[in-house]
Amino acid sequence: MCGIAGFIEQGVLKPTHAWQASASVVLDRMCRIIAHRGPDDQGTMVRDGVALGMRRLSIIDLAGGHQPISGEDGLVTTVFNGEIYNYRELQSDLEARGHRFQTHSDTEAIVHAYEEYGPACVRLFRGMFAFAVWDERARKLFLGRDRV
């Protein structure tokens, strides 16, 4: 199973180059600590006072499931651990609502579902999962997980 990591720095609206570099080092360390959770890939995003990272164990969309994944406008970004069993149905619904998918990954379904439904999107997901969504427009970090 994959692993996710991240942090948010309150009050950092215009991060300096030094902050970005420092945050990247810290996030890379966090990802290395959870490397055993996902040997196939590592991805990070550091911007606007937010750092998200992940280690991936490839299960779905082996080639196209690199994370973090963002929506079409780049303003909603997610890292994800787990599996959304009903992602194909979600993808069909979201495409009918005008969303364009770039991958066949269940991770991308989370991004578009959040764009469409906001935090209520978590009620649509069937599976085992934990995720973090950075909504740059609202400047909010949303964390979701399955119903234990």
Q: What is the pTM of this model?
A: 0.88
Name which of 111, 106, 63, 82 is nearest 2 in CA terms: 82
Active-site residue, 31 included: no
Active-site annotation holder among 2, 79, 122, 133 = 2
Identify the pLDDT of residue 114.
98
Sheet holding 140-145, edge to edge: 69-70, 76-84, 127-135, 140-145
Q: Which CATH class is domain 3-145?
A: alpha beta
Block means of pLDDT (10 residues each) for the chain, length 148 residues?
87 79 94 86 89 83 77 94 95 97 92 98 96 95 92
CA distance linking residue 40 with residue 63, whole number of Å: 11
Name which of 102, 147, 101 is nearest 124 in CA terms: 147
Identify the pLDDT of residue 63.
66
Identify the pLDDT of residue 16.
84
Triad 90, 58, 113: Cα angle to 5°: 20
